[in-house]
Amino acid sequence: MDFFGKEIFENLNLFWGGFLTTIWVSLFSAVVSLVIGLVVACLRVTPSGGLKVMAIIYTEFFRNTPFLVQALALYFGLPKLGLQLQFDLFGLEFNQSFVVGTLALSLYTGAYVAETMRAGLLVVPSGQSEAARSLGLSLVQTLRYVVIPQAIRLVIPPLGNLYIAMIKNSAILSSIALVDLMSRAAFVNNRLDRTFEVYTAVIVFYLLLTLPLAWGVSYLEKKLNPLRARTLRLRGAR
Amino acid sequence: MKILKNRTTYSAFVLIVALLTTLLLSACEANSTNTVLPEAKANTPPVSSTTAAPTLASPAPGVKEGIPTTGGFLDTIKQRGKLVVGVKFDQPGFGLNDPISNKLVGFEVDMAHEFARGLFGNPDKIEFVEAVSANRIPFLQEDKVDIVIATFTINEQRKQQIDFSDAYYVAQQKLLVKKGSSIKSVSDLAGKNVATVQGSTSEKNLAEKAPQAKPLLFGKYSEAFVALENGQAEAVTTDDVILSGLKLTSSNPANYEIVGAGFTTEPYGIGVKKGRSELLAYTNGTLAAMKTDGRWKDLYDKNVKPATGISAEPPR
């Protein structure tokens, strides 16, 4: 039988490794960028001068330069500084493309996460932290127990969008020799000469990653928002 | 549309619509390739008798007797008044858009001018279109160009989709390494990082000849070379002419050497759309004439030799 994309279906296994790499690089970058974003956002809302300035420089630098340039600059630049970032861990090989790719994607996404988090922190009414401080909580305790738990709920939907964008941005890493979905697409196309079908398959693979994330985010959004959750419960009860 | 109120169902609906649209579009595409009219026919300029008449009356200068210059698609080209050729814009020595003069230069560009001279008696009755590796076959099939002269390796897989002329150059795939490297041939590549370009014949050959090597695939050969310079890759592999260009344009050519007695041969041919026997015969005839009357040698020595340092004779 002959149908659209037949050759692709027969060679789906060729995409598998690339698909896994895209998932792994996205997962690692998601965790690292969340940590970076949280730290940088906290530094920006605290009064301390030097660290705040560094946080601002970091955010503005990574938000205002193209990701492709950052990735190429890190990949080709770090070895010039004598840094060959690659290692074996638990029998797994983390090559330079993977390590530098994760680093680049985390630094880039982290800048956006920081801005989103900062917006979330600023939206929590200042009365909340003033009350916490007057009850004797330290600055760190105030952030940890009062402000951040409230901010997290507000930032879940925009963060979800950031991580969807991050998965899509990971495609750029094929230019620093990461064998991800995009790189495998070129590989398969080089053997089958079916450009249109190959890239249609790649679109479907990316949708498989991004759409469930979009659904998950909208579910969390409902679940974590106390006001909406109550409204939904009331609606259900009626 | 009550069903669409549910967000999950809505997203699933969008996904299905997107997929169906894609399938539909591809179906249209498949049909249209059979029915598409040659671009030349759609926007043929009014035929100027001054360009057409003399060429039809007597063979143009530089054309040997016996090379067909009329009939079939050749007439369409003549009516249009120019030859449309796909060449590389980024391949030193072969087809390069010179950034300083903003002019196209190279062996393949000069050969294209000779093909125009044979048809029109004027080498400048020509239009160049940039051909990158991935779009060379589609350009021919969609009539965006008449012929493609763009470091186009003749192989069986491609021959099923288009026709090739005889070879006008035979490159060999080799390895560029740092001087003193332990890599001497393709059999030394196991476990080594080897840089080349995504979607190239070189990538495919590397996977076949050195399956144990770890390919590092970049967008451009210049990036693959930086990886070698940095020690991220231990070799760059592609056609010898390209490797020579990379070595010669590096900051310190003496630090690098080309090794590995050509582990593949890459005969470059001129691509022609299937079914254009007159155009193919004209291309082969002119090519054969250029090989014997010294034009091939002149153009090669003018373009490729200075850029690569490799001497060559016309392939048989």
Among B26, B199, B226, beta carbon nearest to A189? B199
Q: Work out the mean pLDDT of chain A and round it to a whole number.
A: 88
Residue B173 DSSP one-character state: E
**pLDDT for residue A166:** 96
A202 or B263: which leads in pLDDT = A202
A89 or B103: which leads in pLDDT = B103
Structure tokens at B138: 């589609």
CA nearest A191 in B: which residue? B204
CA distance A67 to A173: 9
Among A190, A200, A211, beta carbon nearest to B15? A211
**pLDDT for residue B117:** 93
Task: Please write the tens of the pLDDT for every residue from A79-138.
Answer: 989 888 887 777 677 889 999 999 999 999 999 999 999 998 888 888 998 999 999 999
Cβ–Cβ gap A183/B230 under 8 Å = no
Name the CA dihedral angle for B83, B88, B90, B92, rounded to a multiple of 10 degrees: -90
The residue type of A168 is K
Span B37-51, mean pLDDT?
A: 37
- Which residues of chain A have a CB within 8 Å of the CB of B161? 193
CA distance B297 to A186: 36
pLDDT score of B59 more than 90: no
Q: Work out the mean pLDDT of chain B and round it to a whole number.
A: 81
Span B251-255, mean pLDDT?
A: 88
Q: Is the distance from CB of B187 to CB of B303 less than 8 angstroms?
A: no
Using an 8 Å CB-CB cutoff, list residues of chain A that contact chain B.
4, 72, 75-76, 79-80, 84, 95-97, 174-177, 179, 183, 186-187, 189-191, 193, 195-197, 200, 203-204, 207, 211, 214-215, 218
Span A203-221, mean pLDDT?
A: 92
The number of helix segments (H) and strand segments (E) in chain A equals 11, 2
Cβ–Cβ gap B22/A193 under 8 Å = no
Strands B95-97 and B104-105: antiparallel
pTM: 0.73
pLDDT band of residue B249 (cuts 50, 70, 90) is confident
Task: Please write the tens of the pLDDT for every residue from B173-209.
Answer: 999 999 999 998 889 999 999 999 988 889 999 999 9
pLDDT score of A228 more than 70: no
- Which residues of chain B have a CB within 8 Å of the CB of A97? 216
**pLDDT for residue B11:** 60
Q: A59 to chain B nearest CA, in Å? A: 28
- Which residues of chain B have a CB within 8 Å of the CB of A204? 19
Q: Nearest Cα to A169, choosing from A210, A223, A134?
A: A210
Strands B126-130 and B104-105: unpaired
- Strand, coil or helix: what is B265? strand
- Which residues of chain A have a CB within 8 Å of the CB of B202? none
Q: How many residues does chain A have?
A: 238
Handedness of CA B202, B203, B209, B212 (dihedral sign): positive
CA distance B132 to B148: 10
Name the CA dihedral angle for B230, B231, B235, B239, rounded to a multiple of 10 degrees: 0
Q: A64 to chain B nearest CA, in Å? A: 24
**pLDDT for residue B292:** 92
- Strand, coil or helix: what is B312? coil
In chain B, what is the greatest distance between 2 CA atoms, to the nearest angstrom?
A: 78
Q: CA angle, A185 as apex, B15 and B212 as ends, to 5°?
A: 145
Phi-psi region of B260 (alpha: psi -120 to 50; beta: other; left: phi over 0): left
CA distance B247 to B264: 20
Task: Please write the tens of the pLDDT for every residue from A125-152.
Answer: 889 989 999 999 998 899 889 988 888 8
**pLDDT for residue B34:** 36
Span B143-160, mean pLDDT?
A: 91
- Which residues of chain A have a CB within 8 Å of the CB of B138? 195
Using an 8 Å CB-CB cutoff, list residues of chain B that contact chain A.
7-8, 11, 15, 18-19, 22-23, 26-27, 29, 134, 137-138, 157-158, 161, 195, 198-200, 203-204, 214, 216-219, 223, 226-227, 230-232
Q: Is the distance from CB of B121 to CB of B254 less than 8 angstroms?
A: no
